[in-house]
């Protein structure tokens, strides 16, 4: 089986390089530097989306948004126009579940199928082979894709039908993004009232307030002046916005989700769309008059 990978940014590149360790890949990205990095890992570079579509039985995508996925699928030189009959497209983008279902429906009858398989665990998790992969697919599609995805990580979950992977990824990112804000706010409260940052983290991680952000990011990175660069405020806002829209479409109140979305919008207005996602810690420091993040803050992937 010939496998292609389109979208070799921070996350897509890490996933593709992990997969390349056990499977030969065809690769494409409009960024020549990203494509060259993947070629150095052993993948075969392709010059166009059409070339990778014509040569692949399965194509994995990792793009910024569902709008980018639509353009890659249905553009004039896109996958749909060049793909072989029987091609399975696996969308690892953090996307819109309703948009994914609509695109899958548009492909129905063409001999090309679309499923979703977004991931959670960061670039480090992708590189280490520990990342969680959430699959939205029919039973036969899942059986077909599982051997490929399990070569990236053993943590592969069948969430349900097409769109279910993107749904649970939005739920996950809503929790993660809200947890980041609340953890940073709680730390400013502790520091403002005389508790040293490291002491606060040590106590909270051993107590009922423990959460993944405090343990994996605040402790090792934030209070040591390191803000991770691989994910932006703009992408975080996009994910929370999509989760809130899904809530509207589903008739679900999104009290905390909407507040989280507005906080990330405030961060974007203050620091820019492309600022590191953990820059919200700097914003809350300024509002509180604290230095949870040391003044010598530096950027680290």
Decide: 80 and 110 in contact? Cβ < 8 Å.
yes
Which parts of the chain register pLDDT below 70?
A: 229, 296-301
CATH (residue range 3-160): 3.40.50.720
The contacts of residue 21 (CB under 8 Å, 6+ apart) are: 151
Would you state the structure tokens that stand for residue 104, as one six-digit string?
A: 């899958």
Confidence (pLDDT) at 109: 87
Q: Residue 157: beta bridge partners?
A: 134
Confidence (pLDDT) at 299: 43
Would you state the structure tokens that stand for residue 44, as one six-digit string?
A: 């075969």
Residue ranges covered by each domain of the chain? 3-160, 168-300
Confidence (pLDDT) at 244: 98
Closest by CA to 239, choosing from 194, 178, 161, 288, is: 178
Confidence (pLDDT) at 51: 96
Neighbours of 171 (CB within 10 A): 16
Alpha-carbon radius of gyration of the chain = 20
Does the active-site annotation cover 192?
no
pLDDT, tens digit, for every residue of 112-145? 999 999 999 989 899 999 999 999 999 999 999 9
Neighbours of 269 (CB within 10 A): 10
Confidence (pLDDT) at 135: 98
Question: Which of 169, 226, 238, 276 is flagged as catalytic?
Answer: 169
The contacts of residue 226 (CB under 8 Å, 6+ apart) are: 220, 297, 298, 299, 300
pTM comes to: 0.93
Same fold, 3-160 and 168-300: no
Architecture of domain 168-300 in CATH? Answer: Orthogonal Bundle (1.10)
pLDDT, tens digit, for every residue of 188-215? 999 999 999 999 999 999 999 999 999 9
């Amino acid at each position: 089986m010939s496998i292609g990978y389109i979208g070799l940014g921070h996350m897509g590149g890490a996933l593709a390089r992990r997969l390349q360790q056990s499977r030969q890949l065809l690769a494409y990205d409009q960024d020549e530097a990203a494509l060259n990095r993947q070629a150095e890992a052993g993948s075969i570079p392709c010059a166009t989306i059409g070339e990778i579509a014509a040569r692949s039985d399965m194509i994995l995508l990792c793009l910024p948004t569902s709008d980018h996925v639509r353009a890659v699928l249905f553009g004039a030189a896109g996958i749909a126009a060049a793909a072989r009959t029987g091609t399975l497209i696996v969308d690892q983008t953090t996307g819109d579940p309703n948009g994914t279902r609509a695109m899958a429906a548009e492909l129905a009858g063409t001999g090309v199928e679309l499923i979703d398989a977004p991931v959670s665990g960061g670039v480090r998790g992708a590189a280490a082979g520990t990342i969680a992969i959430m699959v939205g697919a029919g039973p036969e599609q899942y059986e077909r894709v599982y051997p490929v995805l399990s070569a990236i990580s053993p943590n592969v979950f069948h969430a349900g039908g097409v769109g279910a992977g993107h749904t649970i990824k939005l739920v996950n990112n809503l929790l993660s993004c809200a947890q980041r804000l609340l953890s940073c706010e709680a730390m400013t409260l502790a520091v403002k009232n005389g508790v040293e940052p490291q002491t606060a983290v040590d106590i909270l991680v051993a107590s009922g307030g423990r959460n993944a952000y405090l343990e994996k990011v605040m402790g090792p990175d934030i209070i040591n002046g390191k803000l991770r660069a691989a994910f932006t405020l703009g992408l975080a806002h996009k994910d929370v916005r999509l989760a809130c829209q899904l809530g509207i479409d589903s008739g679900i109140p999104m009290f905390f989700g909407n507040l989280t979305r507005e906080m990330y919008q405030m961060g974007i207005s203050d620091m820019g769309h492309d600022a590191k996602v953990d820059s919200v810690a700097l914003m809350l420091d300024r509002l509180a008059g604290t230095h949870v993040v040391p003044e010598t803050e530096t950027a680290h992937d």
